Structure 1
């Protein structure tokens, strides 16, 4: 099976580069995949008519066009789209995404949507053994205050636990520091993560969904 995997930013891409071999097996043995990082999540266009500038690489802006293209492309067995839910209603957001897929009939690709609740940083917080190994001086009190997969300003909480000056320092510095910091977390924590022990429900849905997807090709 060959899978195209779309994520909304480079930090997500970096994390998945590390985790996918643990979830799917080594590249080409027997499954293959390609990862594509976009430069933000954007929004599903009204009427599902893609009018945004493709050079800006905003994921949801381009999603209807992308799925229609994949559905017509030989050799692509499935598409996986991984997004932060942020402050959205999870059920409503998934329904909106499914409508995009249905709009591609009769050329809709097999598509799996997976949402990080609230943000992908929840997945690091779901493996606190890996997090503490990467950042031994992390503030335990801040980590202990976290309720897994809650809507609480997830990346800010993680920053408050491990970044000098916390999230306030990152926000004060402004762009591109937030993206650089998140990429660094993926580099440091990702290789230490154990997908089997992760306590994040949204990560477990990604893990199990990917495994069911490739099992369906057997």
Structure 2
């Protein structure tokens, strides 16, 4: 049964702001959604099993849950394992366990963090901040958005500062909202974004 509603659990407000602007373009009216932001990754992980147990008691069959965390410096496999374990203990089947049919929870990880997804659709960044060079992704350091060295948000901040934006420091929520509004979900070159997009579209039967 295609989902008619998505519950998205995210670790902080900038991801909430980004998804709030980007998801309507991805969903095209096929489902409603609600985004639940936590006070950081550790807060979400600490509360995840309890939150999923709550969903297990009342969530309709026509709803799906997507849990989205930044990898940061964590081991990706261990982080995914912790997310999967929380779902398993709550009694909800995951995409990894159930395959394409029958899952209630999809666990997804932004590698290394949200700003990698900005590098994955640089046209959206350029549309939101026109003084930024359109050719940034041609530079070797930024060619693979999921493998930028030295911290993705720090790299993103440096590029925007060099173009005259955010001289006092990156305002993450503001940037996330602006870029999310300009992003084309089917054009992003980040592999972790593609995995997230695939889960969303699979949930709604696309």
Instruction: Using structure 1 for the length normalisation, give the TM-score.
Output: 0.77
Separation in 1 of the partners of 2:123 and 2:93?
44
Partner of 1:51: none
Could you say what secondary structure the match of 1:199 adopts? coil
Q: Which structure has the higher relative contact order (CA within 8 Å, separation 6+)?
A: 2
What's the RMSD between the two structures over aligned residues?
2.5
Could you say what secondary structure the match of 1:114 adopts? strand
Separation in 1 of the partners of 2:133 and 2:187?
21
Cα distance change on mapping 1:129 and 1:103 into 2, 3 Å: same
Which stretches in structure 2 are left out of the alignment for 5+ residues?
Answer: 95-102
Separation in 1 of the partners of 2:93 and 2:181?
37
Q: Residue deviations 1:114-149, cap 9 Å, x none?
A: 110000111110011111122222257865222320
Q: Residue deviations 1:29-59, cap 9 Å, x none?
A: 4x222111112111xxxxxxxxxxxxxxx21
Separation in 1 of the partners of 2:200 and 2:93?
22
- Runs of 4+ residues over 4 Å off in structure 1: 106-109, 139-143, 164-169
Is residue 85–residue 119 contact of structure 1 (8 Å, CA) maintained in 2?
A: yes
Partner of 1:79: 65
Partner of 2:36: 36
Instruction: Using structure 2 for the length normalisation, give the TM-score.
Output: 0.82
Number of residue equivalences: 189
Partner of 1:183: 173
Pick aligned residue for 2:22 from 13, 19, 23: 19
In the TM superposition, 1:1-218 aligns within 5 A as: 1-26=4-29, 29=30, 31-42=31-42, 58-75=43-60, 77-105=63-91, 110-138=104-132, 144=139, 145-146=141-142, 147-150=144-147, 152=149, 153-163=151-161, 170=169, 181-215=171-205
Q: Residue deviations 1:83-113, cap 9 Å, x none?
A: 1011112122112211111112379881111
Which stretches in structure 1 are left out of the alignment for 5+ residues?
Answer: 43-57, 171-177
